Structure 1
Amino acid sequence: MELRPTPLKDCFIVIPRAFKDPRGTFCETYNQQAFKKVTGLDIHFVQDNQSTSRRGVLRGLHFQKGNMAQAKLVRAIQGRVLDIVVDIRNESETFGQSFSIELTAENRKQLFVPRGFAHGFITLSETSVFGYKCDNFYDASSESGIIYNDATLALDWHLPDEEFIVSEKDLLLPSFKEAIV
């Protein structure tokens, strides 16, 4: 497993090694010992989630607050997605900054999203299957988010706005300034 830093503090690109032979490929998508050795972070994932989406589906920007905050390891199992994270930790030197990466089944790249980050993605291919491991359980009373088209963040989702498919719930999310009070 290869880990690469991103411009955002504590956020890493994780690239598993793939072993190919005439039967196909094998790769270890996560190894807690290797991850801790490189990052110094002792993460224990407790929940795995998976979603399927069609082109233009935009999910986010989501996060959980307080004791229910979640770190995530996200990846595209099938298809192509643009994944975006925003550091919302007030005390962080990268507070308010964002990072985006294209995750595909072919490039096998994953993104480790630490606690205290808002996270979202949009499907760029005809369909996608997106998986994520979480280090804390989902708690509806702790969920929050930031509207995907926040003017302060000015995020580039790589598709024209008219192609976006956004849930009613996500359309009602507050701005960055309203959410991070």
Structure 2
Amino acid sequence: MDKRKQAIIEDLLPLYNEGLLSPETTAWLEEQIQDNQELQKLMDQAMTPLEKDKIESPVQHDKMIITIKRRLALYQLIFIGLSFFLAIQTSMLNESFGFILWYAVLGLLTYLFYKDMKIVFYISFIPIFIWSLGGNIGDFLQGDMGSTVSFGQFFLQSVMGSILVTLIHYLFAFIGSMIGFLYLKIRIGEDK
């Protein structure tokens, strides 16, 4: 048989096995194979599935995943602890306007680490809200606020004031996270 014809038939065998040839090509291929003993043997080999040896991996995947998750959880706890510490130390409640820079940095780093705006919101909003509300309630209970207002009215005012203070802090964290978002978009655009 012509070597060129044999090469074409060998190239067509995988498509034949998958049933991807047109009916005319299938009929031609079967006709060619029928007349040639060597091609019949090759077709039988192509139809026989290969034996798969099970390869044992030296890597213990379950153990590796657990280790990675623990390490990531540790990093997250450290990151959240530092975020909480910075949030409290540089907040407006300490009469410090350094919060403008640090909350932008906090938003940027949080977004770059988690790539999730909700996490930026939680980390920048919740600590200041709790601290502000707790401070107001503590002042009320110590009698620093006077007794002209009921606790219910005071609590409602404190919640609204705490939300306002917290939103101011979150605004700068949001700006930082948008910088992180834009940085990642530009970086992804450069990689393409």
TM-score bracket for the superposition, by shorter chain length: under 0.3
Report the structure number with the largest CA radius of gyration: 2
RCO comparison, higher one (Cα < 8 Å, 6+): 1
- Report the TM-score when normalising by structure 1: 0.21
